[in-house]
Amino acid sequence: VLLLEQPLSSATVLTCIPHVLLAALEQPTFIALTAYRLYPQAKNAHNKLFFLAWVSFGLFKLVACVVGSTFFAIYWDQFTTLFKTIYIVASFVLLFSQAYSTFAQYKVWKRIIKKRLSPEGVAHE
């Protein structure tokens, strides 16, 4: 819908590309999950990898929202009303879903710490 209603321009690319580029930097999350499954004995590495995953995820998503919104504000006059509406709604949806995802990754990291510190290796709730 956005490409059909909004002509592809530098303003459109600058506004949308931060979300696409920084989404590619979610790899620490997948690396942490892979290490957790393939190397269950490496408990200290799990702690560090999951910490890196949730911090990098939160920071990159925040940077993407700030940079995208900055370009959106700078080039406001070049966008159609439909693009503006969709971008604003999508930004709020992304912001809340990414905040929740960051919190979920934080909780996983805390659970990994509990599991590592537990004598049986099982997290106690």
Give the DSSP letter string of 15-39: HHHHHHHHHGGGHHHHHHHHHHHH-
Query: Tell me, what's the pLDDT at 3?
Result: 53
CB of 105 closer than 8 Å to CB of 59: no
Distance between CA atoms of residues 45 and 91, nearest Å:
34
Distance between CA atoms of residues 35 and 45, nearest Å:
8
Mean pLDDT along residues 108-119 = 81
Query: Tell me, what's the pLDDT at 5?
Result: 60
User: Is the per-residue pLDDT at 125 higher than 50?
Assistant: no
Query: Tell me, what's the pLDDT at 119?
Result: 63
Residues 82-93 pLDDT 10s: 888 988 998 899
Higher pLDDT, 72 or 123: 72
User: Is the per-residue pLDDT at 120 higher than 50?
Assistant: yes
User: Is the per-residue pLDDT at 1 higher than 50?
Assistant: no
